[in-house]
A and B are shown apart, each in its own frame.
Chain A
């Protein structure tokens, strides 16, 4: 395949989804200035939603077109931007999640809480764009640009509750730790560039053998610096301390965005760099690869333990979900950390399946939390007291979502964990399997605190719960999708397997 150096007009078609988001972002920012405040608050939210959907439609169109092109991959700008199935699948997850989050928050965010709702919505677009770039790049520089686009917009998003002290504090903390993480990652990348002489992932891989023989220590430093940086971004223990603070301070839709899209994007970037450079290189004389993946496994295990144990004592539901996110990040890391060899070929399917399940259950749970908090002004577990008596259907949907988070059958969360567990068994990583099982059992106690509150406590308010229509729809779609993932796991897994091919999508040739 010939690599094109310059972008031609015809190539623009392949980046339509990104261009749509860019266009909408610019347009909405301007529109926000022109429109009167009252109108813009509502209109911009809806337009953001539309923009995300339009972009998603183009991704689907591109996915259908890909098999017709050379090798099913389109490379732009000397391989620094790639349109492949890996990227497209994740883009769909990101766009879908962002769309659901925006949709569910329509009409549910109070004016006094977020006075600049127009900005909040229009900033979701560049953030999502950053996530898309992270999943679709083949060059360290582009990847980092995507990361920074996502990060910086996220810092602002966390701060949109302008008058809230917690929000400002959270934004500051997120900015400092996020900046530190970016520095770690960039520092690690610079070593990689220094040793192999390229920022292009394909060229890095080619130079890898030579690097392993001559600069092994520097490679160790490079990889562990990147691991540290990503561990912060993914909120893996012990790099997770920022996440409960930030999740609590941010408005709930933004929290959901951080939990699902920002985390997923960091995973995408991790896959891009690690699979290409470290996995498929023939192991030389050194233990580098083994050690890198062991490091990831240890982080995964630590995240599961710390996240679950921390959530056990947590009364604030947002912080509880943040810690649950820490544990889930550990679980999501397992497929990558197990490595890719003859025994374990389904790494990517396991990851994406659980990511999709994770996205649905988190968006659903955060939507319920948003409604409950809005109603009672209470973010703690006791805010859920007697929910069953006030809104039985919402309580039922929340029960499904919580069961999925806990990993009970028959839900998406159950099968997601099960497939990942199979992976650990296949590769004989029994200690990780044991941690996964034990933390899952302990996590029942975490999620059942909320279920108990909903069914077995009488709430303070007698009146029904005020549901906004979009939130209700989102909650129900999420609960239904969670069940669908539980009842039809194999067809969905087969579909992911059929779309994705490790050789074409990861190996940059």
Chain B
């Protein structure tokens, strides 16, 4: 069996990186060609990733890893390397595919932006870092790429830095995720401290926590797992660190699709999946993951009901779906989580790109100002509809199968979480119906000259729509291929006809109610808001979490900052100014001495020597 592509998997991140170097080095002079260089580079990566996946599917491929010594200080050795597993192969395919489609799409979407080559350079750097993160064979290298994707996210959210909202959102995204990153860093340090031989590679972690139980005490294991989870919470926008993700929608829409829907935000899920042995060793950690995940799923879904910005609705939907993945991990189903990650990447990227197409056309993000676009933007409307159905979990689209896989396991493990997940699924269907009908159905608005986007933008939509339909079939209750391939061996089948029927019914119910409210008008739109206006207000304000953070953390910290600034200004600067004045005074004294009178010079010399002599010899007689 050939392992050619496996051994050369490290080439995959290098192509986007080369594109990044070229674009940064000679961006301006390349003009439009720069965008194509980046697109072609991402396509080469995609081809390699697909070849790799084909190679690994053809047989029982072993995990392959290669390391070299990176830093060696005394006894301390830090290794770096890459590892190819089926899990990382899946991620490589997802990342390269979405990255390529987003690159293509941006040719149209960003066409008129004068900093387009900078945009493509950032995207290329992001793609390269994300692929590096996927390939990393140990936590340290992983962490470096983890931070790099964070930096790229920061740069791209703030890409339109002249907009104050974009600047604020970029800062918020960076700072909030840093809180999680700090947790991950501490977890890595703890692992470094406690692991035998200071090993940080995933294989060693697997060996220590899976097979040789008891090497590290349960308390420390729980602590490490929770800290790693904190990192994942930050990156994947889980409650209570979810606040940055909706604001990050200030970035260009292709970025929202690539980074904030399909790839980077899923890195938290990937991290937990990669270090799953640590979590499995601690029931407390597992429960935390499950509960946070389930809570985020329903919490974000309810907020999604009351938002009016098309991208923010999708952002809260992303938060909610990532919650599903965490829920799956928490109830022990890595396969379910990765499956949902896989399908979600396609349909959520599709929805974002579709939303981008709409925004590109009507120049607003407020769904209340849209309507009747379905007639004018047929491709966008159809593909968006497919994405919405997939997200709502309507059979036989991909979202149904992956959601079903998660709910089945949840029912087996924690029935209460199953109920929460089901309710969240209902809300999901409802807000997607609201979104779809408000935007595409109804009467067209006066004076809104919407027209279909160009082919570079619609082709990615069509490709993703096809994937949103078919990608679910890799793992159905009748065919557990993906789970088996990912986790090795024959994965246990979780079949539950009840769950399938109930989840499909809930999805359809949500859509039906949405249709009644927003398309047909049988139920008045203000049916809820007129009766309990407080509830809608709370949802619109996103449960006042931002306001709470503002009051509890931001304001006190700013106060402390002001205080320190005063200290800096008056005490530190005062000392600096004082020393400056002292030097200046000596200089002035010197200038005064420099009278030009040679008699004065000689006199100074004589006085000088007398003082020196008296002072030095005289101190003996004191």
Which residues from chain A sit less than 8 Å from chain B, CB to CB?
172-173, 176-177, 180-181, 184, 220-221, 224-225, 227-228, 231-232, 238-239, 241-242, 244-245, 287, 291, 294-295, 298-299, 305-306, 308-310, 312-313, 323, 442
Question: In the complex, are the beta carbons of A309 and B586 less than 8 A apart?
Answer: yes
Given A177-B598, A180-B602, answer yes or no on A228-B609 (Cβ-Cβ < 8 Å). yes
Chain B stretch 585-622: residues in CB contact (< 8 A) with chain A: 586-588, 590-591, 593-594, 596, 598, 600-602, 604-606, 608-609, 612-613, 616-617, 620
Which residues from chain B sit less than 8 Å from chain A, CB to CB?
583-584, 586-588, 590-591, 593-594, 596, 598, 600-602, 604-606, 608-609, 612-613, 616-617, 620
How near does chain B come to A505, taking the closest CB pair, in angstroms? 29
List residues of chain B with CB within 8 A of the CB of A176.
598, 602
Given A299-B612, A310-B591, answer yes or no on A177-B584 (Cβ-Cβ < 8 Å). no
Question: In the complex, are the beta carbons of B587 and A238 less than 8 A apart?
Answer: no
List residues of chain A with CB within 8 A of the CB of B605.
177, 180-181, 228, 231-232, 238-239, 241
B613 to A, closest residue via Cβ: A224
Query: A294 CA to B613 CA in the complex, in Å?
Result: 10
Question: In the complex, are the beta carbons of A306 and B586 less than 8 A apart?
Answer: yes
List residues of chain A with CB within 8 A of the CB of B601.
173, 177, 241-242
Query: A244 CA to B596 CA in the complex, in Å?
Result: 10
List residues of chain B with CB within 8 A of the CB of A291.
616-617, 620
List residues of chain A with CB within 8 A of the CB of B598.
172-173, 176-177, 242
By DSSP majority rule, is chain A's interface helix, strand, loop, or mixed? Answer: helix
Question: In the complex, are the beta carbons of A241 and B616 less than 8 A apart?
Answer: no
Question: In the complex, are the beta carbons of A313 and B584 less than 8 A apart?
Answer: yes
Query: A323 CA to B583 CA in the complex, in Å?
Result: 14
Question: In the complex, are the beta carbons of A313 and B593 less than 8 A apart?
Answer: no
B612's partner among A221, A295, A305, A312 (CB-CB below 8 A) is A295
Question: In the complex, are the beta carbons of B602 and A298 less than 8 A apart?
Answer: no
Question: In the complex, are the beta carbons of A228 and B608 less than 8 A apart?
Answer: yes
Q: How many A-B residue pairs have CB under 8 A?
A: 85
Query: A321 CA to B609 CA in the complex, in Å?
Result: 25
From A224, A231, A241, A244, name the one whose CB has the most chain B CB atoms within 10 angstroms.
A241
Question: In the complex, are the beta carbons of B609 and A224 less than 8 A apart?
Answer: yes
Closest 7 CB pairs of A and B: A228-B609, A309-B586, A310-B590, A241-B601, A309-B587, A238-B608, A224-B613
Question: In the complex, are the beta carbons of B586 and A305 less than 8 A apart?
Answer: yes
Query: A308 CA to B591 CA in the complex, in Å?
Result: 12
Query: A232 CA to B613 CA in the complex, in Å?
Result: 15
Question: In the complex, are the beta carbons of A442 and B593 less than 8 A apart?
Answer: no
13 further A-B contacts with Cβ under 8 Å, apart from A177-B601, A228-B609, A241-B604, are A173-B601, A176-B598, A224-B617, A238-B593, A245-B594, A245-B596, A295-B616, A298-B612, A308-B583, A309-B583, A309-B584, A313-B591, A442-B583
B604's partner among A220, A238, A323 (CB-CB below 8 A) is A238
How near does chain B come to A249, taking the closest CB pair, in angstroms? 11
Question: In the complex, are the beta carbons of A287 and B620 less than 8 A apart?
Answer: yes
Query: A294 CA to B618 CA in the complex, in Å?
Result: 13
A295 to B, closest residue via Cβ: B616
B593's partner among A241, A294, A298 (CB-CB below 8 A) is A241
List residues of chain A with CB within 8 A of the CB of B617.
220, 224, 291
List residues of chain A with CB within 8 A of the CB of B587.
309-310, 312-313
How near does chain B come to A306, taking the closest CB pair, in angstroms? 6
From B590, B598, B604, B613, name the one whose CB has the most chain A CB atoms within 10 angstroms.
B590
Question: In the complex, are the beta carbons of A244 and B616 less than 8 A apart?
Answer: no
A299 to B, closest residue via Cβ: B612
How near does chain A come to B11, taking the closest CB pair, in angstroms? 38
A172 to B, closest residue via Cβ: B598
How near does chain A come to B588, taking the closest CB pair, in angstroms? 7
Question: In the complex, are the beta carbons of B583 and A312 less than 8 A apart?
Answer: yes
How near does chain B come to A183, taking the closest CB pair, in angstroms? 10
How near does chain B come to A442, taking the closest CB pair, in angstroms? 6
Query: A446 CA to B617 CA in the complex, in Å?
Result: 36
List residues of chain B with CB within 8 A of the CB of A232.
605
B602 to A, closest residue via Cβ: A180
Query: A306 CA to B606 CA in the complex, in Å?
Result: 17
Query: A238 CA to B583 CA in the complex, in Å?
Result: 16
Question: In the complex, are the beta carbons of A224 and B612 less than 8 A apart?
Answer: yes
How near does chain B come to A267, taking the closest CB pair, in angstroms? 19
Question: In the complex, are the beta carbons of A239 and B608 less than 8 A apart?
Answer: yes
Question: In the complex, are the beta carbons of A241 and B608 less than 8 A apart?
Answer: no
Given A225-B609, A244-B594, answer yes or no on A312-B584 (Cβ-Cβ < 8 Å). yes
List residues of chain B with CB within 8 A of the CB of A245.
594, 596
Question: In the complex, are the beta carbons of B583 and A220 less than 8 A apart?
Answer: no
List residues of chain B with CB within 8 A of the CB of A244.
594
How near does chain B come to A453, taking the closest CB pair, in angstroms? 19
Question: In the complex, are the beta carbons of A241 and B600 less than 8 A apart?
Answer: yes
Query: A489 CA to B572 CA in the complex, in Å?
Result: 37
Query: A224 CA to B605 CA in the complex, in Å?
Result: 12
List residues of chain B with CB within 8 A of the CB of A172.
598
Query: A299 CA to B615 CA in the complex, in Å?
Result: 13
Query: A310 CA to B584 CA in the complex, in Å?
Result: 8
